[in-house]
Structure 1
Amino acid sequence: MSFFGFGQSAEIEIYLDGQETRKTAEVKTEDGKKERLLLYYDGETVSGKVNISLKKPGSKLEHQGIKIEFIGQIEMFYDRGNHHEFISLVKELARPGDMIAHTSYPFEFTCVEKPFEVYTGANVRLRYFLKVTIIRRLADIVKELDIAVHTLSSYPEMNNSIKMEVGIEDCLHIEFEYNKSKYHLKDVIVGKIYFLLVRIKIKHMEIAIIKKETTGTGPNTFTENETIAKYEIMDGAPVRGESIPIRVFLAGYELTPTMRDINKKFSVRYFLNLVLMDTEDRRYFKQQEITLWRKGDKVRKPNLQSPAILAGTQNLTNTAQQISSQEENQEPAQKEDFLRAPNSQSDEKLNSNDPFDQGINSPTESPPDSHIQNMTREAGDGQNDPENTE
């Protein structure tokens, strides 16, 4: 809106190079909605052009300079007056003067460092954006354009399984085991729960994925827990020696990589929460932290073969056909079964029908010196108590 002839007399458009073919990512906005933004990675160049057009043909725009900024910013919702910028790059597009016609300015931020991933949570927001400013005496003309940034990780070298024995006094001893402790965002959590001692009447068991967002430091620390997913894994009373399989697919949920102490402002951590409920609606739970990371997409190279390679492939095919014809003329070999080792403790046949094993061994008798951790009882007789979700 213009008052007394003053106001924005020009429109700004930011065009990014290759935006028609560049991948996009869905990012949650502050009001809970979602928008698709152009996707960039750490170290990628951000370039394009700024188009400025006058609203009234034949008019003149006086300015004190035009600049473009690339900004990485963390905003705390409880302290909106202070924006913490961890990246601030500035390029001058034009010196002070007059603009009398539509003008386009190219820009380029070469190999920009983008150390953190975009994130919008309950109390904090991390964003990257381009900001164009036409500096004027009375009121600047400003245009912003957000981009999405993802941080990719390689497969962790050490990825041990999670195995823990928990119990409720002398009433219940269970052993839960997950195949890994670090999962990528489209991974599958595979595990088992073994009942070693059952002296209470359990009627229900579930597992949940919990996101814990921590912002601030010291007395100004705020923690927000959000249940991302919840699965019922057992309904009914278990018996000693019974095992319950677990298989949780992560691809269908809105997850981010684990973020630890991002610019000393906030952290995002994920937990697997195992919950038991007895017949009197008492709930017991045990949390175990897992690490999530983003895996890069695999890009297959086109199969471009030269004539020499094709000729070599044909020679290999001919050789394989000759060997196959020779084998057909030979007598068929006799098949032999595997024999169990003499020192084996069991005479049972091998069982390969369990799709949930994947490197998870069944427990033996609990050693006398093993450490059994107690499960936590939720207050309220079946009602979730936020104070006890630690």
Structure 2
Amino acid sequence: MSFFMRPPLEVEIKFSNEESRKKVDLRPKHGASQHKLAPLFAHDETVSGSVILRPRDGRRVEHNGVKIKFVGTIEQMNRDKPVDNDDFISWAHELSGPEEIRHPETLNFEFKNVEKQFESYNGIKVQLRYYVQVTVYTRSNEVTQERDIFVYHYDKEPQSQNVVTMDIGIESCLHIEFEYAKNHFSLTDTIVGRIYFLMVRLKLKHMELSLVRKETSGIGTNATNENEVIVRYEIMDGAPVRGEQIPIRMHLGGFDLVPTMKDINKKFSVRTFMSLVLVDESGRRYFKQSELMLYRPEPEL
């Protein structure tokens, strides 16, 4: 943009206690190359801060008012189509009426008791965003600035848990039992289980265990899926024998995982699966998946 096309003032948005807040690294979106850091908020926190208006080059700037908006939106990026936005929150109010400014001016804002009902999500084709947008109405044009925040939803461990058993079987050739202790895990939990070989008449070469995130956007016949392998381990190299057991212990805390999200605002779902894959000496693959129900634990005090 040339010098003469620059807006007459700069707009900066700052959040309360921003320096002490944890930051979340957002993926570049819509072809952007740079990452952005968003301050972290709990779902029930008030969103407040200040807006700083700075006239450029010491000039006098007249404006017709300043408005601020808090937005929660779901963005779906579809191939060969514009980004589809669905705003589920949109709160706005006026920060300032018409005035003339010559020096930097600070305007405070507060969005109190805004229900941020969903956790933020930054996926492959779907983003659930919360952001503050400021618009200054100058005589010549509108000057707009926005900043994202990131929202976490915390949950307690479910009171009832079930042992999960997953069978892989081929009649008269293979029978494997994979068992782990419960079906709900926090994002910092440890999966403890075992793989037990009940029948082995195939010449197996190796076995893999992976965590796969499945992002589903759209509904019905228009739904699309994006699968992302979060981590993959080779847990066996060589042929097992009947009666052999392989212990499993997988720490989830070091992986880029998100809570299970189902039918969020009837727009998208995010689910995580544990996938067990066996490969025989001919290269044939045998696999089974089991869904992990994930939740974000309350932070330790």
1:234 aligned onto 2:236: yes
Amino acid at match of 1:16: F
1:193 aligns with 195
1:172 aligned onto 2:183: no
1:12 aligns with 11
Partners in 2 of 1:25 and 1:116 — Cα distance?
16
Amino acid at match of 1:74: I
Cα drift, residue 137 of structure 1: 4.5
Amino acid at match of 1:108: E
Partners in 1 of 2:125 and 2:222 — Cα distance?
12
Say which SS state the counterpart of residue 64 (structure 1) adopts: strand
Partners in 1 of 2:5 and 2:207 — Cα distance?
66
Partners in 1 of 2:12 and 2:176 — Cα distance?
61
8 Å CA contact retained: 1:29, 1:120? no
Q: How does 1:276-355 map to 2 (within 5 A)?
A: 276-299=278-301
Q: Which has the higher strand share?
A: 2
Amino acid at match of 2:56: K
Amino acid at match of 2:213: K
Cα drift, residue 20 of structure 1: 2.0
Q: Which runs of 5+ in 2 are unaligned?
A: none
2:56 aligns with 55
| 1:173-196 Cα deviation digits (max 9, x unpaired) | 111101111111111111111111
1:183 aligns with 185
Partners in 1 of 2:140 and 2:73 — Cα distance?
27
2:70 aligns with 70
Cα drift, residue 26 of structure 1: 2.9
Aligned residues: 297
Amino acid at match of 1:26: D
1:23 aligns with 22
Amino acid at match of 1:271: F
8 Å CA contact retained: 1:73, 1:86? yes
8 Å CA contact retained: 2:189, 2:252? yes
Of the two structures, which has the highest relative contact order with CA contacts closer than 8 Å and spacing of 6 or more? Answer: 2
Partners in 1 of 2:235 and 2:103 — Cα distance?
67
8 Å CA contact retained: 1:182, 1:292? yes
Cα drift, residue 297 of structure 1: 1.8
Say which SS state the counterpart of residue 135 (structure 1) adopts: strand
Partners in 2 of 1:200 and 1:49 — Cα distance?
67
Cα drift, residue 216 of structure 1: 0.8
- Normalization by structure 1: what TM-score? 0.72
> Where does structure 1 differ by over 6 angstroms across 4 or more consecutive aligned residues?
none
| 1:232-257 Cα deviation digits (max 9, x unpaired) | 11111111111111111212211111
8 Å CA contact retained: 2:77, 2:84? no
Cα drift, residue 24 of structure 1: 2.3
- Normalization by structure 2: what TM-score? 0.93
| 1:193-233 Cα deviation digits (max 9, x unpaired) | 11111222112111111111100112221101111111111
Q: How does 1:1-390 map to 2 (within 5 A)?
A: 1=1, 7-30=6-29, 31=32, 34-57=35-58, 59-78=59-78, 79-299=81-301
8 Å CA contact retained: 2:53, 2:104? yes
| 1:257-281 Cα deviation digits (max 9, x unpaired) | 1111111111110111111111211
Say which SS state the counterpart of residue 20 (structure 1) adopts: helix
Say which SS state the counterpart of residue 119 (structure 2) adopts: coil
Amino acid at match of 1:235: D
| 1:335-384 Cα deviation digits (max 9, x unpaired) | xxxxxxxxxxxxxxxxxxxxxxxxxxxxxxxxxxxxxxxxxxxxxxxxxx
Partners in 1 of 2:152 and 2:33 — Cα distance?
19
8 Å CA contact retained: 1:2, 1:8? no
1:339 aligns with none
Partners in 2 of 1:44 and 1:236 — Cα distance?
53
Partners in 2 of 1:177 and 1:249 — Cα distance?
16
Structure index of larger Rg:
1
8 Å CA contact retained: 2:70, 2:133? yes
Say which SS state the counterpart of residue 280 (structure 1) adopts: coil
Partners in 1 of 2:294 and 2:166 — Cα distance?
20
Say which SS state the counterpart of residue 221 (structure 2) adopts: helix
